[in-house]
Structure 1
């Protein structure tokens, strides 16, 4: 199944907006899911994560209609790297016992999004080369 950048960027923006809300308003829920205790320190980091998710969501929402370009490739490449590194880190935290099995939901989501953006990137490169 070929995913277009537009649909993937829209979906990613919605996921990021939802994560921004949860990290900002109820970080204890996600931390509970990961079996991580809520504290003033984790609350501070959670609220800062909310701002990052909001900004990533805005970037993808605004870029969803952009044609293939160096800027779109830069956005996509950065997001792919971030997703796949987060997936590896999350898996490592689970293996080391620093997070519970609930973190595997985040790991799976990050892996799927990273791979989906790789596919969308390859698809847009192939499409743009075919139209030359």
Structure 2
């Protein structure tokens, strides 16, 4: 058998296409002016970011995307959680009251629970 041409004998890896970088959350672009807040989302307990929007502030969850505009983070954070006030008949009424839960710095972050901020009765 005749020796094969060395160019034919080599297997070539397919050419890799140059891909553009994956777009992350467009709202979280560094030049968009988002600021990391010391509050956590009332839905998924992830950190919130905010940016000024006119005379109010837009608050956005970095995980689930919950978003609202208000004058403080309680529009989306655990500090704004409410519960129904019990009636004299010990049923839940229609009036909402503060649940007493607040976002606070985690006093002891551990490798098992590294969150910097948690919700508690602060």
Bin the TM-score by the shorter chain: under 0.3
Give the structure with the higher percent strand: 2
Greater relative CO, 1 or 2 (CA 8 Å, sep 6+): 1
Instruction: Report the TM-score when normalising by structure 1.
Output: 0.23
Instruction: Report the TM-score when normalising by structure 2.
Output: 0.24
